Structure 1
Amino acid sequence: MNTKKVAVIVGSLRKESFNRKVAKEMIRLAPEGLELQIVEIKDLTFFSEDIENSPPQTWTDFKNQVQNSDAVLFVSPEYNRTIPGVLKNAMEIGGRPPKENSWKGKPGAVVTVSPGAIGGMGSNQTIRVAAANLHLSMMTQPEAFIGTIKDKLLEDGVTVDEKTEKFLVTFLEAFKNWVEKF
């Protein structure tokens, strides 16, 4: 089997983001056949139709990284029961103009991470709705809502909770199987 490149989009810009730590853990735990790489969104300016036909280089670079991937994995927090603005902005940039949709036809998955008990469920569902409109084929099971994250990670981002690590491995194996269908 050929190794599949997975664009990992982290929906948080916070320096010590729990989501970035989980994304890095997932990179470490990725099964053979999946190569996960974080695609940065911090330098993307706000989306505007006024400039989408002659976009800034940061937009072009981002779209190319997504386009050159075989799959997409969103790892995101939840802000006010929905998707972080920076992630929504990246999704818009990647999907516009519609004839140049970088997401189209790619398999995808979402993991939401939160210090709260329900693990970003609102954001997870909102990402799925937006992804469907962008023509991403999202893995439906297992769903990944990782709550009470402060109890599960060390400061360096290493999973300390054996149950969480096992879940991430199971999730990544399922994602690998999903990606191989495309």
Structure 2
Amino acid sequence: MKITILNGSSRKQSQSGKVARFIDAKLREQAGVSPYYLNLENNPLPMWDESIWDSAEMWTKTWGPIKAELQTSDAFIFVVPEWSGMVPPAVKNFFLLCSHQELGHKPALIVTISSSRNGSYPVAELRMSSYKNTRLLYIPEHLIVRDVEKMFNGATPESEDDKYLRLRLDYCLKLLQAYGRSMHELRASGVVDHKAFPNGM
């Protein structure tokens, strides 16, 4: 199973990147799982504009290889920080670039990041606004990593909260993979019709 992990922070040496790399390493230890790590640090993707529909050269070079990786992915993990109660612009731009070809009817786990006791707003925002045309399927579970500087810092938990989050992450990853197997069967069943209904309502 191929799982894409997105580091949704454009900041250098971000806590989101730390958590995303922790998850990536954990998945690489599991048999039968092939992670693809997509890092939005330093904003590697151009901002969306209509030239993407014309296959302009910049899109062929920058987005083409990523698009191919996403299309062959079975599931997704979006590690997203909360900036002023919002999802960062790099993440919103990513979803504008995606369509059902990359994400359609594939499960995703939301992991949000907060340096304090916040982190819930990005969960609500992603569930509300990022699935319409992509047809992405967010699983019911999500993970909020509060006080992130104190979490996922090594092989051994530093506190009971850290230990709990690691156990919860393990559960979420097992669940995501189960959804990935089930949704693969759904996509192969022929019931999905993106030709007649290319966009959501």
The TM-score by the shorter chain falls in which range?
A: 0.7 to 0.9
Aligned to 1:10: 7
Distance 1:158 1:48 in 2: 45
Distance 2:109 2:102 in 1: 16
Aligned to 2:66: 62
Cα offsets for 1:73-124 (capped at 9, x unmatched): 11110112121100111111122xxxx6421122111110111203x21112
Distance 1:140 1:40 in 2: 25
1:21 to partner: Cα distance: 1.0
Amino acid at match of 2:138: M
Aligned to 1:169: 170
Q: Give the TM-score normalised by the residue count of structure 2.
A: 0.77
Distance 1:101 1:181 in 2: 18
Alpha carbons 1:107, 1:139 under 8 Å: kept: yes
Aligned to 1:52: 53
1:75 is paired with a residue of what secondary structure? strand
Distance 2:88 2:33 in 1: 26
Alpha carbons 1:72, 1:109 under 8 Å: kept: yes
Alpha carbons 1:39, 1:65 under 8 Å: kept: no
Amino acid at match of 1:43: P
Aligned residues: 172
Aligned to 1:102: 102
More helix by share: 2
Unaligned runs of at least 5 residues, structure 2: 184-201
CA distance change for structure 1 residues 32 and 159 in 2, over 3 Å: closer, same or farther? farther
Alpha carbons 1:77, 1:114 under 8 Å: kept: yes
**Identity within the alignment, %:** 23
CA distance change for structure 1 residues 158 and 132 in 2, over 3 Å: closer, same or farther? farther
1:157 to partner: Cα distance: 9.0
Alpha carbons 2:36, 2:69 under 8 Å: kept: no
Indicate the structure (1 or 2) with the bigger Cα radius of gyration: 2
Distance 2:129 2:112 in 1: 15
Unaligned runs of at least 5 residues, structure 1: none
1:139 is paired with a residue of what secondary structure? strand
Q: Give the TM-score normalised by the residue count of structure 1.
A: 0.84
1:7 is paired with a residue of what secondary structure? strand
Aligned to 1:181: 182
RMSD: 2.0
Cα offsets for 1:132-173 (capped at 9, x unmatched): 2120111012x211111112243x797532222212112111
The answer to which structure, 1 or 2, has the higher relative contact order (CA under 8 A, 6+ apart) is: 1
Cα offsets for 1:49-93 (capped at 9, x unmatched): 134322321011221111121111111101121211001111111
